[in-house]
């Protein structure tokens, strides 16, 4: 039976801003968050990539990963992830190899296939209508540079161990398995289960990942009561629901300040759907739920997501179950 004590935990920091801080302060807070995560004994600390999104100034994940690594001693650091359609594969390879040279044995790179959130952002990133269609081709090119068997050699050469993962749903899980990469699964647990099964069925060992490696990404928060824990993640659920209809991700505000009355019925339904997949409660109840999910998915590691505007409550919300 899977127990909390047998599981590993990692964190995704999206660098989501609050109205009380500047974007520069939000970015500098990444280092403090990484140090706290390291003190809890977490496995790895990852950062995201967002472009032109109000309230999320994390446009350069490789730079943020280096910043987090410089602020810690043993914690594995990386991305979740670098969006391949937004960069030439050669430049990604250089970034990965540079991080690995500076922080040997501590680098994990998650790769995704998302494009810019809006048409103007996609234009700014020079992404055409077929950017996503080239994802598989671009991944193959990137791996060639990292292996050192491409026509051009990326410098520095990649040396030592680097974890490579695909951020995956069902379709990308098959790709991750065939390429011999790890996989970070998101979405509802039922969807993750199908993706994990597909990944394992198609897995072929590689120099980057000799055995299947599945990480489950979940929005998780703990507090003294389930209601308080749910309130910690409500601001992000609200912002996500509103962004789907407005195209704008607003800075996070506390749950008590959310203008729920102004939401349309469709927006409220979206928010409820998002919250339905959150794992929230007391340390004990969250620990039990995670143990059950780990057994169901056959995973030993969770990537803790969920942005919390209450900076004072965030440390406990993202780690208390590990010690209960």
pLDDT score at 1: 47
3-state secondary structure 282-317: CHHHHHHHHHHHHHHHCCCEEEEECCCCCCCCHHHH
What's 249's DSSP letter?
-
Residue 271 lies in a domain: no
More confident: 140 or 310:
140
- Cβ atoms within 10 Å of 298's Cβ, excluding its own: 14
H/E segment holding residue 11: strand 8-13
Contact between 252 and 240 (Cβ < 8 Å): no
Tens of pLDDT along 226-248?
999 999 999 999 999 998 888 77
Residue 71 lies in a domain: yes
Residue 226 lies in a domain: no
Residue 129 class from Cβ within 10 Å (0-12 exposed, 13-18 middle, 19+ buried)?
Answer: exposed
Tens of pLDDT along 95-152?
999 999 999 999 999 999 999 888 899 999 999 888 889 999 999 999 999 999 999 9
Q: Which residues contact 105 (CB under 8 A, 6 or more apart)?
A: 160, 161
Residue 187 CA to residue 57 CA, distance in Å, equals 23
Structural domains counted in the chain:
1
pLDDT score at 2: 53
Tokens (6 digits) for 34: 């990484």
pLDDT score at 177: 97
Residue 247 lies in a domain: no
Rounded to 10°, the helix 265-275/226-246 angle is: 130
Q: Given pLDDT bands bounded at 50, 70 and 90, which one contains residue 314?
A: low
Tens of pLDDT along 165-218?
999 988 899 999 999 999 999 999 999 999 999 999 999 999 999 999 999 999
Residue 241 lies in a domain: no
Tens of pLDDT along 51-102?
988 888 999 999 999 999 999 999 999 999 999 999 999 999 999 999 999 9
Nearest to 184 by CA among 39, 82, 68, 37: 82
Residue 262 lies in a domain: no
H/E segment holding residue 233: helix 226-246
Q: DSSP states of 43-108 as a string?
A: SEEEE---SS-TT-----HHHHHHHHHHT-SS-EEEEEEEEGGGS-HHHHHHHHHHHHHHSTT-EE
- 53 half-sphere exposure, CB direction, 13 A CA radius: 26
Residue 257 lies in a domain: no
Residue 242 lies in a domain: no
Q: Given pLDDT bands bounded at 50, 70 and 90, which one contains residue 3?
A: low
Q: Strand, coil or helix: what is 13?
A: strand
Nearest to 320 by CA among 294, 291, 281: 281
Domain around 291? 4-220+281-323
Instruction: Indicate which CATH number applies to the domain containing 153.
Output: 3.20.20.30
Cα separation values, 53 from 30, 37, 222, 239, Å:
18, 25, 27, 12
Helical residues (DSSP H) of 106-188, grouped into ranges: 119-124, 135-147, 170-179
């Amino acid at each position: 039976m899977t127990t909390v004590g047998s599981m590993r935990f990692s964190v995704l920091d999206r660098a989501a801003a609050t109205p009380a801080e500047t974007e520069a302060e939000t970015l500098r807070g990444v280092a403090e968050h990484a140090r706290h995560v390291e003190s809890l004994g977490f496995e790895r600390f990852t950062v995201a990539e967002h472009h032109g999104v109000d309230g999320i100034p994390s446009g350069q994940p490789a730079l943020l990963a280096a910043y987090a690594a410089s602020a810690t001693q043993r914690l594995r650091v990386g991305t979740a992830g670098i969006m391949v359609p937004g960069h030439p594969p050669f430049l990604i390879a250089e970034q990965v190899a540079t991080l690995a040279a500076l922080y040997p044995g501590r680098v994990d790179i998650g790769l995704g296939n998302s494009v810019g959130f809006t048409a103007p952002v996609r234009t700014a990133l020079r992404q055409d209508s077929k950017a996503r269609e080239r994802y598989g081709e671009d991944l193959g090119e990137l791996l060639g540079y990292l292996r050192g068997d491409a026509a051009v050699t990326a410098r520095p050469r990649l040396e030592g161990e680097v974890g490579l993962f695909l951020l995956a749903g069902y379709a990308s899980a098959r790709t991750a398995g065939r390429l011999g990469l790890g996989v970070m699964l998101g979405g509802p647990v039922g969807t993750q289960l199908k993706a994990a099964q597909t990944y394992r069925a198609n897995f072929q060992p590689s120099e980057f990942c000799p055995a299947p490696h599945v990480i489950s990404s979940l929005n998780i928060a703990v507090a003294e009561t389930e209601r308080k824990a749910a309130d910690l993640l409500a601001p992000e659920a609200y912002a996500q629901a509103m962004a789907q209809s407005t195209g704008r991700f607003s800075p996070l505000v506390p749950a008590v300040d959310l203008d729920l009355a102004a939401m349309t019925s469709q927006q409220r339904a979206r928010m409820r759907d998002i919250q339905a997949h959150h794992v929230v409660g007391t340390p004990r109840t969250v620990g039990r739920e995670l143990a059950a999910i780990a057994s169901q998915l056959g995973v030993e590691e969770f990537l803790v997501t969920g942005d919390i505007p209450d900076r004072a409550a965030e440390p406990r919300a993202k780690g208390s179950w590990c010690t209960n």
